[in-house]
């Protein structure tokens, strides 16, 4: 969308296209693959059991088998493995690797040293127990996230919401979740159109200070619009007989 070097614009474009591609796309859920053919309720139960089982697994090698099976299911469900790996590995290094790195060292996990090195006169020891603990943690996160992503991309979101109702999740929660999903997309579109409109008027390059100013105003504008929308949607609900209960 924005082909210039402006950091703010590139970030916005990146976030928007990620949201549109990964959260709102029904592309993979509509394919005729293995997981798509399974009843969503059964699928949710099976995936939940797998996730719970992974919490109790203490061997990385078993987790690796789970991970390989997850990739196999993705392949059988006609999901591009490149897309799947991109989706599942984007946030994992951020959330799990940073947490796992300190566990490598003897300070947090004492044990048999496998690597020793010095930085500014301070010596660091990586222990075998620390390394296996870190691998186990990362493997568990990767596999859990992969299964969760696999469930969400092979099931249409309204079917997932319907499944939540079957599991006796309060209807008000399911309804709010559905509305959030619906309106996040609308606001993504508003932000996207606003930035195209700005670009059409200010050109490709603007001073970063001006850019910050525009972004700040747009956040405020979006907030005001969402408040207005909130009121209007509530009126539309009242108009069709909503009594405050889902």
Partner 1 sequence: MSNLIFELKDACFSYLRKYPALAGIDIDIRQGEKIAVIGANGSGKSTLLHMLDGLIFPDKGIIKAFGVELKESAFNDENFSIGFRKKVGLVFQNPDVQLFCPTVREDIMFGPLQLGLEKERVKKRFEELAEDLKIRDLLDRSPHQLSIGEKRKVAIASTLIIDPDILILDEPTAGLDPLTTRHIIDLLIEANNSGKTIVTSTHDLHIVEEVSDVVYVFSQDKKIVKYGEPDTILKDVELLQANNLVHIHSHKHKDKIHAHPHLHLDHHSHQ
Interaction site with partner 1 (CB under 8 A):
24, 26, 157-158, 161, 178-179, 181-183, 185-186, 189, 229, 232-233, 235-243
The string over 120-159, giving b where at least 16 C-beta atoms fall within 10 Å of a residue's C-beta and e elsewhere, is eeeeebbbebbbbbbbbbbbbbbbbbbbebbbbbbbbbee
Nearest to 17 by CA among 199, 195, 188, 216: 188
> Shortest distance, CB of residue 33 to partner 1, whole angstroms?
18
Report yes or no: 89 and 149 within 8 Å, Cβ to Cβ: no
23 or 71, CB closer to partner 1? 23
- For residue 218, CA distances in Å to 6, 34, 154, 190, 203 come to 17, 43, 34, 10, 17
**Cα 74 from Cα 78, distance rounded (Å):** 7
Shorter beta-carbon distance to partner 1: residue 112 or 232: 232
Cβ proximity to partner 1, 62 vs 188, nearer residue: 188
If the CB atoms of residues 60 and 155 are measured against partner 1, the closer one turns out to be 155
Comparison of 10 and 20: residue with beta carbon closer to partner 1 = 20
């Amino acid at each position: 969308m924005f082909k210039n070097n402006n950091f703010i614009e590139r970030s916005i474009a990146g976030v928007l296209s990620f949201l549109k591609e990964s959260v709102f796309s029904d592309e993979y859920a509509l394919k005729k693959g293995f997981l798509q053919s399974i009843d969503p309720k059964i699928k949710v139960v099976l995936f939940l059991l797998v996730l719970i089982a992974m919490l109790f697994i203490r061997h990385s090698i078993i987790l690796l088998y789970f991970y390989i099976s997850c990739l196999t299911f993705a392949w059988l469900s006609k999901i591009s493995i490149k897309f799947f790996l991109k989706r599942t590995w984007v946030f994992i290094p951020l959330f799990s690797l940073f947490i796992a790195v300190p566990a490598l060292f003897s300070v947090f996990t004492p044990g048999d040293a496998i690597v020793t090195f010095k930085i500014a006169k301070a010596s660091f020891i990586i222990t075998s127990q620390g390394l296996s603990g870190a691998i186990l943690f990362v493997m568990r996160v990767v596999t859990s996230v992969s299964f969760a992503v696999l469930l969400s991309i092979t099931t249409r979101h309204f079917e997932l919401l319907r499944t939540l109702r079957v599991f006796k999740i309060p209807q008000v929660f399911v309804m709010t979740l559905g509305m959030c999903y619906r309106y996040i997309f609308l606001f993504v579109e508003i932000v996207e159109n606003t930035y195209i409109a700005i670009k059409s008027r200010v050109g490709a390059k603007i001073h970063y200070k001006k850019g910050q100013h525009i972004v700040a105003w747009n956040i405020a504008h979006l907030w005001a619009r969402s408040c207005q929308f909130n009121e209007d949607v509530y009126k539309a609900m009242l108009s069709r007989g909503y009594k405050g209960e889902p």
